A and B are shown apart, each in its own frame.
Chain A
Amino acid sequence: MMQDINKLEQMYKAGAISRREFMKRSAAIGMVLAGSGIMAAGSAQAAPKKGGRLRQGIGNGATTDSLDPGTHNQGFTHNLVCSYANSLTEVDGEGNLIPELAESYEGSVDAKTWIFKLRKGIEFHNGKTLTTDDVLASINFHRGKNSKSVVKELLNPIESIRKDGNNTIVFELKSGSADFPFLMSDYHIPILPEKDGRLDWAAGIGTGGYILQNYEPGVRAEFKRNPNYWKPGRAHFDEVENIAILDATARQNAIMNGDVDVINTVDPKIVHLLTRVPNLKILEVAGLLHYTFPMRVNVKPFDNPDLRMAIKLSVNRQEMVKKILSGHGTLGNDHPISASNRHHASNLPQRAYDPEKAKYFLKKSGMEGVNLQLSASDVAFAGAVDAALLLKASAAKIGVNIDVVQEPKDGYWSNVWNKKPWCTARSRGRATTDWMLSLLYIRDQKWNDTAWREGPEVDRFNELVEIARTELDEAKRKALYVEAQTILHNHGGAVIPMFANHIMALSKKIGHDKAISGNAESDGNKSAERWWFV
């Protein structure tokens, strides 16, 4: 299969096949876009130019949004924060971690102590110089008993933070974590100014490439370039305007009619038509976002591993990618580690739709003709109900009756997900393997939505995640993670049929680096900082 992919890639680069054809064929052979450089290569641009006003149509945003980084939960605020503020570290276009406001970072041998050196002489938009106190305030803001921050849990591993001199910060962790510097790139943890011992987030002042001029939550945000931006070769636009356009059709009309230069999400259904609009280009990056059908293994009949295997085998993944994602995604292999992750278990055979084998496992489970309920709502992901219906149709062929229950959109995440025995769900994925597995699959996690807590496989899986967390040797670490993925693939409770690509539409006037981050849409939402007008 690797040869097929290489051949395809060569054909694409040589211009022998179109992007669309490439996407189609690669999806057809179950190939995953490793890294992301491939897709962007065809549209590599000349050197960046300065100037212009970038107008971005963003598919999220609500009137209830605020500048408080502890409440941010979607693309509008993500993009906003990445435009006016920086973090200690940053994930680059190729998925590597690079220092941002930190000059360097270094861990102890047991990965329990992390020392971050701060860049010197960086100023906030109001002229205040960045100090270690700002960093402490920015991180402590999310910690502590009274915190309501969405990343409170994420920062739980931190035992203590202290400053050591004027530009050194020392983190002591409760247990070793090789990926800790990755956490510091999270968009919820921007470094903002401290004022009177507290984090001053309400002013919208940061160290970023753009100065926030005007912010109407749920409507728009306007920025102008920060003339003193410290980062060389970034932030090229004079002005940036982000507009919240929630309706997919309105967003598409806006870019087609030239009312905006970028839209950050494109309905997969219309991509093939958008490619025909002459002044537009489609940017597509394999992402971490994946769609899941978690079965709670502590509830009958999902406690039966043979039934779970039968269901996993009766999912027609090809059809789902083709119809739910219109081909703009990749096949999932019942574990949450994306192919763009360096720890992806690429040697694990891709699970395919296999009615015969599924029937065999169903018979072994002794549950032929079983009736199951699948709770679905499009809140989980666009097309979730449709996906459930496809699953119903393909499972019916092996003798499993699935009753698709439409759940209300309101309160889906609190009343259905992580409660009902089987439902539709999504995860936006996380930048590191440890983060991803710790978030949803380890035993004690509240969000363990498959309730996968008992049995020898679970013990081994939890042990693997724990060892890997402190393992600094990359090769050994990968081996541990591959074993963990294999266990999930064979014994876990989640059906993970597909990973969705990030699809954006850009005016042809926009230039960008060869490698586009798959961390989030719009180049990891750093579009304002990284892109330019050609």
Chain B
Amino acid sequence: MHPIFLTIMKRLGLSVLTLFIVSVIIFSTVEFLPGDFGQAILGQAALPDTVAAFRRELGLDLPLHVRYFDWMGGVLTGDLGTSFSGRGTQGLDNSRPVIDLIAPRLSNTLFLASFTALIAIPLSLFLGITTALYRNSIYDRTVNTITLTTISFPEFFVAYLLVLIFASFYKVFPSLANISPDMPLGELIYRSALPALTLTLVIVAHMMRMTRAAIINLLANPYIEMAEFKGLSRVRIILHHALPNAWAPIVNVIAMNLAYLVVGVVIVEVVFVYPGIGQLMIDAVTARDIPVIQGCVMFFAVTYILLNLFADIISIITNPRLLHPR
């Protein structure tokens, strides 16, 4: 069997273990949250017997391990369970499967993530390569200073500034990114422009700086010096000799930032009223809607693990020494 395949299989095995630990951590954390769904949803109006009835109906009176294995059994058969919300006051049950709750929000989040990635990744690669090419020039210093500054601003601050400039002073984009799935693509892009721009400003710096550092790191290698002695142009050296070997760290940092785009955009969602999965998750935590919390966290964990796995595979494939181990 090819060694890469073995490595990947080993990684997958570990990922399953990691997912299991994540589910245990989340399940027990949720267990310790004060109050429960009945209390949270009925709020100030909750009467003890009403809450008790709710608990019985949701099975919250069962012991922890019973509920855990119940849920686990469901997940293994592809059933994430049913949200606690939407259950009727009496009789009728209109609660929705967790997957139906997550799916539309997820598609919004993925749209924003891909939109941002489409701007941010090429931009940061371009900036990273050109700053490496012209390192220590005025251009390099300027780009470095600007990107350092943008990651130093709190996200909400960047977001409000963009609203002020592009929605208030110059009415270019709407400050409200309340998209819905049935909108045409142009409308979607127009409405999500400001959130995407905010996120771009937040993540470009990381990726650009890693690209630059990875390339410069390689420039000390003998084969680069060799290429220099051969009299190749700097552009050619960087693009054809340094960059192919620099992919591993670059892809790693890109994967990290993509994971961030999927899971970490709660604040941007709040500022722009973007109906993404982060807000759903916060709502679920506030309302103690356990199946939804579990579903979201498992989804996030899977995304994170897959992106990392993907980055590892790319690192292996692009590195001849790892691809053909001695």
A146/B41 in contact, CB under 8 A = no
- In whole angstroms, how far apart are the Cα atoms of A279 and B33 in the complex? 45
Contacts of B35 in A (CB 8 A): 410-411, 414-415
- In whole angstroms, how far apart are the Cα atoms of A253 and B149 in the complex? 25
Which of A107-115, A195-203, A268-276 contacts its partner?
A195-203
Which residues of chain B from 168 to 194 have any CB-CB distance to chain A below 8 Å in the complex? 168, 171, 174-176, 178, 180
Whether A116 is near chain B, meaning CB under 8 Å from some CB there, is no
Given A64-B287, A148-B54, A413-B46, A253-B92 contact (CB < 8 Å): no
Which of A215-223, A326-334, A486-494, A497-505 contacts its partner?
A215-223
Given A64-B284, A147-B90, A254-B273, A410-B34 contact (CB < 8 Å): yes
Contacts of A200 in B (CB 8 A): 92
- In whole angstroms, how far apart are the Cα atoms of A256 and B164 in the complex? 11
A253/B90 in contact, CB under 8 A = no
Pick the contact of B47: A63, A153, A217, A254 (CB < 8 A): A153
Whether B271 is near chain A, meaning CB under 8 Å from some CB there, is yes
Contacts of B47 in A (CB 8 A): 152-153, 446
The count of residues in chain A whose C-beta lies closer than 8 Å to any C-beta of chain B is: 55
Name, among A147, A148, A198, A202, the residue most crowded by chain B CB atoms within 10 Å (CB to CB). Answer: A148
B178/A148 in contact, CB under 8 A = no
Contacts of B270 in A (CB 8 A): 246-247, 250
Contacts of A410 in B (CB 8 A): 33-35, 286
Pick the contact of A216: B43, B84, B92, B180 (CB < 8 A): B180
A149/B90 in contact, CB under 8 A = yes
Q: Mark B29-52, 1 if CB is under 8 A from A, else 0.
A: 000011100111111111110100
Q: Mark A399-415, 1 if CB is under 8 A from B, else 0.
A: 00000000010110111
Pick the contact of B34: A146, A214, A243, A415 (CB < 8 A): A415
Which of B124-132, B275-283, B305-313 contacts its partner?
B275-283
Whether B160 is near chain A, meaning CB under 8 Å from some CB there, is yes
Given A220-B178, A410-B35, A68-B283 contact (CB < 8 Å): no
Whether A73 is near chain B, meaning CB under 8 Å from some CB there, is yes
Contacts of A73 in B (CB 8 A): 41-43, 45
Which residues of chain B from 1 to 34 have any CB-CB distance to chain A below 8 Å in the complex? 33-34
- In whole angstroms, how far apart are the Cα atoms of A282 and B130 in the complex? 53
The count of residues in chain B whose C-beta lies closer than 8 Å to any C-beta of chain A is: 53
B92/A199 in contact, CB under 8 A = yes
Pick the contact of B176: A64, A147, A216, A254 (CB < 8 A): A254
Whether A257 is near chain B, meaning CB under 8 Å from some CB there, is yes
Q: How far is the CB of B80 from chain A (nearest CB, A)?
A: 15
Contacts of B104 in A (CB 8 A): 216
- B164 (CB) vs chain A CBs: closest residue: A253
Contacts of B43 in A (CB 8 A): 73, 413
Contacts of A258 in B (CB 8 A): 171
B275/A64 in contact, CB under 8 A = no
Q: How far is the CB of B300 from chain A (nearest CB, A)?
A: 16
Q: How far is the CB of A290 from chain B (nearest CB, A)?
A: 14
B176/A198 in contact, CB under 8 A = no
Q: Mark B61-102, 1 if CB is under 8 A from A, else 0.
A: 000000000000000000000011111111110100000010
B175/A63 in contact, CB under 8 A = no
Q: Mark A260-278, 1 if CB is under 8 A from B, else 0.
A: 1000000000000000000
A68/B86 in contact, CB under 8 A = yes
Whether B232 is near chain A, meaning CB under 8 Å from some CB there, is no
- A427 (CB) vs chain B CBs: closest residue: B44
B50/A253 in contact, CB under 8 A = no
Q: How far is the CB of B250 from chain A (nearest CB, A)?
A: 35
B92/A64 in contact, CB under 8 A = no
A256/B92 in contact, CB under 8 A = no
Contacts of B273 in A (CB 8 A): 243-247, 250, 254
Whether A144 is near chain B, meaning CB under 8 Å from some CB there, is yes
- In whole angstroms, how far apart are the Cα atoms of A413 and B178 in the complex? 31
Q: Mark A110-154, 1 if CB is under 8 A from B, else 0.
A: 000000000000000000000000000000011010111110110
Contacts of B224 in A (CB 8 A): none
- In whole angstroms, how far apart are the Cα atoms of A214 and B182 in the complex? 11
Whether B167 is near chain A, meaning CB under 8 Å from some CB there, is yes
A152/B168 in contact, CB under 8 A = no
Q: How far is the CB of B152 from chain A (nearest CB, A)?
A: 21
- In whole angstroms, how far apart are the Cα atoms of A249 and B176 in the complex? 11
- In whole angstroms, how far apart are the Cα atoms of A247 and B90 in the complex? 33
A-B CB proximity, top 3 nearest: A70-B89, A64-B85, A411-B34
17 cross-chain CB contacts under 8 A: A62-B286, A64-B284, A65-B85, A68-B94, A144-B90, A148-B38, A149-B90, A152-B50, A198-B92, A202-B94, A247-B270, A249-B271, A253-B167, A256-B168, A257-B168, A410-B34, A413-B44
| A→B interface (CB under 8 Å) | 57, 62-71, 73, 141-142, 144, 146-150, 152-153, 198-202, 214, 216-220, 243-247, 249-250, 253-254, 256-260, 408, 410-411, 413-415, 417, 446
